[in-house]
Structure 1
């Protein structure tokens, strides 16, 4: 079993977090159980985080900062820790996504990651049978913080109608997820459109893709398969993908009609009267 004092703080953000947590705790003369009492968790959890056996959450980090007076250090560090929990092949995209000024995405199978509820994300991530589901889930929720910024990216999301009908996690989870989409439909910097079945064939039959635009960086085209992600800044590729996306938006329902369809599917397929959580 790893001990915090034997950790190499330069090995990873998680190692650095655990090393600093123990150093700061001991500097305040606190045992793990005592710090746990102060921040309303068990001493065992504190120990597991100090030895990198558990990934810290943002809530945990904020409580530690308040308890130890560390001026937001752990709250700042936890973002790096959580991002490091993402699959290695996905991390470059996540870093670009976090700085994008404009996000345009088409999703054929699932709700876009930035719009997923925690329960929906858990059900999706569990299909990959990961070793650390909780770490991956926390990392996905952390990605969504870009939508809470004072100046969030302008996000345009086109969802295939199939996304609304596929019961990921069961009816209860879908009811919550579709309600979340309706909340986002009123967001100033968010446009959600549904591509209806009646649109027939379209340029993105090959699958989902995302376009990222930046104020000070070359634009990015991103797609992924079952194993890995693929990202390119090739201008011709981005131009062609942008044309495809424009066709998708033109074929999709308007924002208002999309919200009406989401609300109808929510009521007719995932209503509370016969829902199974």
Structure 2
């Protein structure tokens, strides 16, 4: 059992969440197992979150608010907690991304984070961050909420064809990921294009990058390496990268042709998966 006096709510958003959970649970006269029964989870999970050993999810927080009558307190707080789980060098970008009205991105290695399925994200993070896997995946999924808000940003994504062919997490994970991309094509504010190998050399060969546009603030160019990110509003960089991105869009397949290619790769490369007895199933 956690001792609320041992918690320092000023240490981090997660510590503050744990402190508030412990404080308000005790104020309601509930023990951890009793609260767990109410919100359909184990008392040990409540304990791990109160001890900052587990990161809460948004669903957990919403059920907590309903059980304790806290008027959205934990639902609001969990956003800060999940954002704090992002790499420190990425947090500033995530805040800017959440405020952008137009996001245009070129991705040469992976599906963009805003469009990743949970299984795909889990496979990506599992390579180098297995100890913080659940927290990393939860933070990425929560970041995608920007796409379902009342007024979402325009999102234009150009994917190198290699992204479709690089098998992340296995055939089923890739099939589901490509199916997810296809499921988004009817959204009027979201477009996906594929830059085919036949385009040859192109203006994105230096690597993935993203452009953020805002209503009242200067545009931002963002790029990253393995363990750092770089944002700039330098007008010359913005001009050069804007032209470069326009060229990528012009050289890429149209959104309709891109969807056909994604569907073909999904069926031909990831469509038939063997069962344990060796038989192929669709």
Q: State the alpha-carbon separation in 2 of the partners of residues 218 and 131 from structure 1.
A: 38
Cα deviation, residue 195, structure 1: 0.2
Which residue of structure 2 aligns with residue 170 of structure 1? Answer: 170
Cα deviation, residue 6, structure 1: 1.4
Q: State the alpha-carbon separation in 2 of the partners of residues 245 and 148 from structure 1.
A: 25
Shift in CA distance, 47/222, structure 1 to aligned 2, threshold 3 Å: same
Question: Partner of 1:182: helix, strand, or coil?
Answer: helix
Which residue of structure 1 aligns with residue 268 of structure 2? Answer: 268
Q: State the alpha-carbon separation in 2 of the partners of residues 258 and 4 from structure 1.
A: 54
Q: Give CA-to-partner distance per residue, 1:78-125, whole Å, 9 cap, x none.
A: 001000000000000000001100000000010000000000000001
Give runs of aligned pairs for residues 1-277 of structure 1, distance below 5 A. 3-274=3-274
Q: State the alpha-carbon separation in 2 of the partners of residues 130 and 242 from structure 1.
A: 36
Q: Give CA-to-partner distance per residue, 1:141-186, whole Å, 9 cap, x none.
A: 0000000011100000000000001110000000000000001122
Task: Verify the 8 A CA contact 1:13 1:80 in the aligned structure 2.
Answer: yes
Q: State the alpha-carbon separation in 2 of the partners of residues 233 and 9 from structure 1.
A: 35
Q: State the alpha-carbon separation in 1 of the partners of residues 39 and 2 from structure 2.
A: 23
Question: Partner of 1:163: helix, strand, or coil?
Answer: helix
TM-score by length of 1: 0.97
Q: State the alpha-carbon separation in 2 of the partners of residues 224 and 172 from structure 1.
A: 29
Q: State the alpha-carbon separation in 2 of the partners of residues 69 and 209 from structure 1.
A: 43
TM-score by length of 2: 0.95
Q: State the alpha-carbon separation in 2 of the partners of residues 37 and 207 from structure 1.
A: 49
Q: State the alpha-carbon separation in 1 of the partners of residues 132 and 220 from structure 2.
A: 29
Q: State the alpha-carbon separation in 1 of the partners of residues 170 and 54 from structure 2.
A: 28
Q: State the alpha-carbon separation in 1 of the partners of residues 273 and 203 from structure 2.
A: 39
Question: Partner of 2:88: helix, strand, or coil?
Answer: coil
Mark the runs of 5 or more structure 1 residues left unpaired by the alignment: none
Shift in CA distance, 131/226, structure 1 to aligned 2, threshold 3 Å: same
Shift in CA distance, 165/105, structure 1 to aligned 2, threshold 3 Å: same
Q: State the alpha-carbon separation in 2 of the partners of residues 129 and 13 from structure 1.
A: 21
Alignment size in residue pairs: 277
Cα deviation, residue 2, structure 1: 6.7
Q: State the alpha-carbon separation in 2 of the partners of residues 235 and 4 from structure 1.
A: 51
Q: State the alpha-carbon separation in 2 of the partners of residues 251 and 213 from structure 1.
A: 22
Once the two structures are overlaid, the 10-residue window that deviates more, 48-57 or 264-273, is: 264-273
Q: State the alpha-carbon separation in 1 of the partners of residues 174 and 29 from structure 2.
A: 47
